[in-house]
Amino acid sequence: MSELPIESVDNTDEEGSELYEHIRIVVDKGQSPERIDTFLTNHIQNISRNRVQNAAKAGNILVNDKVVKQNYKVRPCDVISVVFSYPPNETDIVPQEIPLNIVYEDADVIVINKQAGLVVHPGHGNFEGTLLHGLAYYFEQTKQPVENRFGYLVHRIDKDTTGLMIVAKNETAQAILAHQFFEHSIHRRYYALVWGDFNEDEGTIEGNIGRSANDRRKMAVYPNGDHGKEAITHWKVLERFGYVTLNEYRLETGRTHQIRVHSQYIGHPLFNDAMYGGDIILKGTTFSKYKQFIDNCFKIMPRHALHAKELGFVHPTTGKPMMFVSELPDDMTAVLEKWRNYLKARNLFEN
């Protein structure tokens, strides 16, 4: 058997570490018939039979581009493609009481409307006080029969991004949802306030996204495709304020900081996005009152103006389409209202 390099699949929307691993194997010419669950368990390091079986149940194991069941017999020269979701590290999570806005919950999934400032999972500089710590406390208090203490992540959104995200309650649900993210069949809509006006009403941004060579905390666009991974973002104007614009964004891929870095790439960084240059006055007048107005907006919303407004998926057990919509948070609503009032006042002055 010859094994090709393992390809990590970045399905992270906003955060940087991967949640899924994509493995491709070309079976050796001398391979004797063997069940694929046994074959994968024996040929992939640190993979349990249970994880392989969950991947099979989710339709995450393909042979020669066709989904197979766990009892499929591997044949010589078969090309096997499998997606595994990463298991959680329970030693990193201690239950902590953290406010959670739960908008839907059943035996398999929990949908949360995340507030600004809440990190999703432990990582560098954030070893406690995360969403997973809060879920561990919630599940402990409600005595829910979850397979681990805090659920299974299937995607993430940034610390300062608000809005909807889903967490699986068992590994089977995680594997099925992982397949939907891998296929880009998850419905996601974001609202963002960005600098500048647009000549068109809608459009598409394309350009590979990878780590910045100058700052490893940031991402960068590589339009020639020589670095990074393919990224496609569709945008649509919702409301124009002259110097800033409220847009809707639909993600076709899920790269780290995708909306933020794509917006900067086309010259329209998110309003008050310090990492990507949106925390300074980029459009407007030189009058001191305008600067004071922008400063007041930044104080009302001391974060980038991005909200995960819609989330849709197929339920991992029932097969029923699920759709959730979240209202804009108070800080973003307040800033938009200030811009509406500013635009009215400016129009009155000019007329």
Paired sense of beta strands 306-314 and 162-168, if any: parallel
User: What count of other Cβ atoms lies within 10 Å of the Cβ of residue 314?
Assistant: 16
Provide DSSP, 259-323. Answer: HHHHHHHTT-PBTT-GGGT-SS--SS---HHHHHHHHHHHHHS-S--EEEEEEEEE-TTT--EEE
Cite the active site residues. Answer: 158
At a CB cut-off of 8 Å and minimum separation 6, what does 316 contact? 58, 108, 109, 168, 172, 173, 176, 177
At a CB cut-off of 8 Å and minimum separation 6, what does 144 contact? 169
Rounded CA separation 3/1 (Å):
7
Rounded CA separation 188/109 (Å):
17
Rounded CA separation 232/252 (Å):
5
First to last CA, the chain: 76
Nearest partner of 134 among 114, 154, 116, judged by Cα: 114
Residue 279 backbone zone (phi > 0: left; psi -120 to 50: alpha; other: beta)? alpha
Could you tell me the two tokens for 5?
């390099």
Q: What are phi and psi of 333, to 5 degrees?
A: -60, -40
Nearest partner of 202 among 170, 237, 173, judged by Cα: 237
Rounded CA separation 310/190 (Å):
7
